[in-house]
């Protein structure tokens, strides 16, 4: 169906939309046909700004409806701001200068180079909201001296578990910060698939010939990538 858009500046225009299109999909069509970036568009119908996840049916838009289009001004290309970057719980903040039109990914790459960890583990948050790579700094209304928190996703690694009375080891992926008892849950998930034995009368874990405290982390026990953890029948007496 055809609907008409009235921007606050410029001439009205018409585009064809589907009955089940979302507001975001409508904005993408406007960008394709009119060259107006999605992030600058606000669609208003019956006096209400429409959320991106709503669809045409839910908004009561019908054929030949007239819709108001508000276009936000493009930020000046040379505008620079200084963000305060920090990694909680540390209170230390590092100033980093960015352009307001820079993509979030470029900021994440700067932080990545400072943190010396894989890029996919670096997450940025401002005011409790995760900053998405395909958005720009200006999309989050960040200003001079705004705080951006850096979160490093915990690194996962593989340990090799040797079940009771078995010759083949089972590879299990965990985080170094996980408590050892997480391993018990992962093994219970894998047991029906791999058909290994978990002693019904109880069992405990051994690493480097020492019993493991399941309330302590793998890191606390000094477990490294590829280490073998053995299962023994019985219980550890404390």
Residues 92, 61: one domain?
A: no
The pair of structure tokens assigned to 126 is 């401002």
Query: Which of 30, 54, 71 corresponds to the end of one domain?
Result: 71
Total number of domains constituting the chain: 3
Residue 103 DSSP label: B
Read off φ and ψ for residue 8, nearest 5 degrees. Answer: -70, -20
- Domain-located, residue 238: no
CA distance 175 to 171: 13
Residues 161, 142: one domain?
A: no
pLDDT tens digits, one per residue of 12-68: 999 999 989 999 999 999 999 999 999 899 999 999 999 999 999 999 999 999 999
Query: Which of 120, 152, 184 corresponds to the end of one domain?
Result: 152
Residues 43, 92: one domain?
A: no
Which residues, at least 6 apart from 233, have a Cβ–Cβ distance to it below 8 Å? 164, 199, 201, 202, 203
Task: Tell me what the mean pLDDT of segment 165-169 comes to.
Answer: 84
CA distance 174 to 183: 7
- Domain-located, residue 16: yes
The pair of structure tokens assigned to 5 is 């858009």
- Domain-located, residue 19: yes
Residue 95: give its domain's CATH number.
Answer: 3.10.20.90
User: Nearest CA to 158 among 142, 145, 170?
Assistant: 170
Residues 144, 187: one domain?
A: no
- Domain-located, residue 25: yes
Evaluate whether 192 touches 206 at the Cβ level (below 8 Å): no
Q: Give the pLDDT of residue 77.
A: 59
Please tell me the number of Cα atoms within 13 Å of 24 on its side-chain side.
4
Query: Which of 71, 98, 126 corresponds to the end of one domain?
Result: 71
- Residue 237 above 70 pLDDT? no
Print the domain residue range for 214: 156-233
Residues 113, 164: one domain?
A: no
């Amino acid at each position: 169906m055809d609907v008409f858009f009235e921007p606050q500046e410029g001439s009205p225009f018409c585009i064809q939309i589907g009955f089940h299109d979302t507001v975001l999909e409508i904005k993408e069509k406007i960008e394709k046909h009119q060259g107006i970036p999605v992030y600058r568009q606000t669609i208003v119908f019956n006096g209400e700004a429409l959320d991106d996840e709503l669809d045409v049916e839910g908004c009561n838009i019908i054929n030949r409806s007239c819709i108001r289009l508000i276009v936000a001004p493009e930020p000046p290309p040379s505008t620079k701001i200084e963000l305060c970057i920090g990694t909680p719980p540390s209170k230390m903040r590092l100033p980093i200068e960015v352009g307001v039109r820079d993509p979030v990914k470029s900021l994440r790459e700067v932080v990545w180079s400072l943190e010396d960890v894989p890029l996919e583990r670096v997450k940025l948050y401002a005011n409790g909201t995760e900053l998405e790579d395909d958005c720009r700094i200006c999309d989050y209304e960040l200003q001079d001296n705004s705080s951006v928190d850096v979160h490093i996703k915990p690194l996962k690694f593989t340990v090799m578990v040797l079940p009771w009375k078995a010759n083949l080891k089972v590879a299990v992926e965990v985080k170094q910060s996980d408590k050892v008892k997480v391993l018990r849950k992962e093994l219970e998930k894998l047991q029906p698939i791999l058909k290994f034995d978990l002693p019904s009368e109880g069992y405990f874990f051994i690493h480097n010939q020492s019993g493991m405290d399941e309330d302590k982390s793998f890191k606390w026990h000094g477990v490294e990538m590829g280490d073998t953890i053995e299962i023994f029948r019985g219980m550890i007496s404390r």
